Every structure is written in C-alpha cells, then in structure tokens.
Amino acid sequence: MTTQRTRSLGRPTLDAVAARAGVGRGTVSRVVNGSPQVSPEARAAVQQAIAELGYVPNRAARALVTQRTDSVALVVSESEERVFGEPFFAGIVRGISSGLLDTPMQLWLAMAQSPAERERVEHHLTNQHVDGVLLLSLHDADPLPTLLEQRGLPSVLGGRPARMLHPDARPAYFVDVDNAGGARLAVEYLLASGRRRVATIAGPQDMGVGVARLTGYHEAIRHSGQPAGGLVAYGDFSEGSGTAAMRQLLEHHPDLDAVFVASDLMACGALRALREAGRRVPQDVAVVGFEDAPIARQSDPPLTTVYQPVEEMGRQMARLLLSRIRRDEMQVPYVLLETHMVPRASA
C-alpha cells in the first residue's frame, strides 16, 4: 500500500530515496553512479529504497553532470554466424555481463567484420555514446585500437595482440589466458604418453592467440629433442578449417601419431578427417584441443583439451575497463589467466 501511494504522487526523486533509506542525498548519488565509496549497509538501504519507490535514474541528466553515458561497447571482429554460433563468444559475453552487474553500465554488442559494419561502429564509438570499449577477436592490421586511443576512449582487448609478443612492443590493456603455456602443456602431455610424431593445427598468425599457441607447440617440441619436421597446418578456429588442415597433415605426414589443435572446434573437425581416413582415435592418432568448450564433452570420442577460463576472461575485461574509465592507477595494465589439462578419451 505504501509503495503504491508513493508512486502515485509522481516520479520518485533522489531526495525521496535518501529519506526512505535514512541517508544523505550524496550517498544515494554515489550508489546510483556505482561509486565504491559507500558502505555495504548504506548501499543495501539505498537499493531497497530504490526498489520500494520504483526510482529510475534520469540518465540524460546524469550524463550532463557526470560526463558519462553509462554505456560500454563490446566490438567483435567476426561474423554474426560465428559470434552467435561458437560457445567462446557466449562465454565472454556472460563474463562481461557478470562483471558489469553491480554497476549502472549498459552493454551493447556490435559485429564489425564487413566494411559497412565497421563504418557504422567507428561512427558510434565516441565519448558521446560510450564510456569505454571492449575489443574481441582483433587481427593485427585492425586500426580500431589506434582510433580509440586518438579519441581518448578507454579500451581493453580480449586477447593479447600478436604485436605484443615482441620484446619492444608498446604496452596495451588486455586480458588473455596463458596460451603459450597451455600449448606446451598439451604437447608435453602427448609426448609423455609415448607419442613421437606430434603435429599441430595452428590458428591464424595475425592474431596473438594463434601465434602464442604455435609458439608453445614449438617450445615443447624443441625441449623434448623430437624432430619438428614441419608438422604444422593452419586453420581459422572454425570446425571446417580443422577438417581441411587435418587432411593436409595426413597427406604430407601419414606417420603422425598425435596432433595438438589450437581450438576445440578445429579439433572436432580434425576428428572427422581422421574418421574419414580410417585412423582410430586415440589408438592411431591422439588428439588434444584447446578451450574445454561444451563440444569437447560431446565429441566422439570425448576430447582431451586445455581448459581456458572464458567467463573469467570476460569478467576481468569488464573489471579492467571499469578501472580505466575511473582512471584508477594500475601497476600492471593486463591480466593473464592460467590454463590446465582436462584429460578425456581422445588422448
């Protein structure tokens, strides 16, 4: 009854919320604006008052005062088919959404693969529209990070760019998993099981993730003393490219007995090519993927793989971007997450 009567008097104000919560107007303002400088008790009281009164912040008025839009963009340089069809992207979005949950920030998603899409996205990425930008699936020639830097928009990359693997690279804000370390784990696992001709299906070499996982493969092979022999084929992280690359490897290296594949989707494609060629997995050829996506548990046989914490990657991307928007001081401008092996039946 009280809530209905309050709402009928007109749109609740910041002062009304403060009176209901028993706090000052400034405290309500800090809660609404997502400031961490509020005690948990005061925050809970304000949030309860907001719910009881049905208070809705005037976003336009707040933007004039705070010079913030309360919006961040996630820009993915892939097609809609891949973004909505591959579990990696869904996991990243879940993680980012979780990282923004206790803030007033709204997330909008844009695909920027075609020239028309890129033009629209670049036009929208200004501080009049968003407070910061998350970038995913970038290739090294992409001018978007430089453009955002020139516009003064805080940005965070999902994945370390390939250029960052060079010693003299300029620092960048990014969140990534230890791709090289995970690849080394996978190859060492195969070698420890007695495999002697370990091939790899690598990802695109204009992406940091593709370069790092291939680097880890080479490091493990070199350390083992086994001859590498050019046992490398390339894909684009899609299932079809994994099938094509596995056929290529079998044609040129029919004596291979194991393959480390730089993504689970490509690994499932490789399993198809091995079945077509009459090779038993793991008896004839052992297969290890990377990601531990749901498809790894559903493949035939279930896929041994390297786990990467995709949702945590998304959460850390959101956290790092919020820190940049607040202009927090940061000792290290990046986050590197650990990986581990998940043994199943394919190796």
Asked if residue 112 and residue 127 are part of one domain, the reply reads: yes
Note whether 122 and 173 are same-domain residues: yes
- Residue 19's identity, in one-letter code, is A
Q: Over its length of 347 residues, how does the chain's per-residue pLDDT go in tens digits?
A: 344 444 445 678 888 889 999 999 889 888 877 677 889 898 999 889 888 888 876 655 555 455 668 899 999 988 888 888 888 999 999 999 999 988 889 999 988 877 788 888 888 898 888 999 999 988 877 888 888 989 999 999 999 877 665 555 566 899 999 999 999 999 999 999 999 999 999 999 989 999 999 999 999 999 988 776 679 999 999 999 999 999 999 999 999 999 999 999 999 999 999 999 999 999 999 999 999 999 999 999 999 999 999 999 999 999 999 999 998 988 888 999 999 999 999 99
- Asked if residue 345 belongs to a domain, the reply is no
Residue 346 is assigned to a structural domain of this protein = no
Angstrom distance (rounded) from CA 333 to CA 246: 38
CATH code where residue 76 lies: 3.40.50.2300
Residues 141 and 188 in one domain: no
84 & 157 share domain: yes
Query: Do the strands 340-342 and 304-307 form a parallel or antiparallel pair, or are they unpaired?
Result: antiparallel
Q: Quick check: is 276 in a domain?
A: yes
The helix/strand/coil state of 164 is helix
- Helices vs strands, H then E, count in the chain: 15, 12
User: Is residue 63, in this structure, part of any structural domain at all?
Assistant: no
Domain coverage including residue 8: 2-57
Same-domain status, 194 and 300: yes
Q: Do 171 and 315 have their domain in common?
A: yes
From CA 99, how far away is CA 103, in angstroms rounded?
A: 8
* Helix, coil or strand: residue 313: helix
Put simply, whether the predicted model's pTM sits higher than 0.85 gets the answer no
In sequence order, the β-bridge partners of residue 199 are: 259
Q: Taking the mean position of all CA atoms in its chain, how far away is CA 16? A: 41
Contacts with 193 (C-beta within 8 Å, 6 or more apart), sequence order: 258, 286, 347
52 and 145 share a domain? no
Question: How far apart are the C-alpha atoms of 338 and 207, rounded to whole Å?
Answer: 19
**Residue-wise burial string across 231-267, b where 16 or more C-beta atoms lie within 10 A, e elsewhere:** bbbbbbbbbebbbbbbbbbbeebeebbbbbbbbbbbb
pLDDT of residue 69: 80
One domain, residues 214 and 330: no
Amino acid at 28: V
CATH number of domain containing 30: 1.10.260.40
Q: Residues for the chain: how many in total?
A: 347
Judgement on whether residues 209 and 255 belong to the same structural domain of the protein:
yes
How many CA atoms, within 13 angstroms, populate the side-chain half-sphere of residue 198?
Answer: 30
- Whether residue 113 is contained in a domain is answered as yes
What is the CB neighbour count within 10 angstroms for residue 82? 18
In a domain, 36, yes or no: yes
**Are the C-beta atoms of 132 and 68 separated by less than 8 Å?**
no
Examine the domain organization and report whether 207 and 316 are in the same domain: no
Q: Is residue 217 part of a domain?
A: yes
If asked whether residues 155 and 97 sit together in one domain, one would say yes
Are 185 and 292 in a shared domain?
A: yes
Position 62 in a domain: no
Please state the domain count of the chain: 3
What pLDDT is recorded for position 163?
Answer: 67
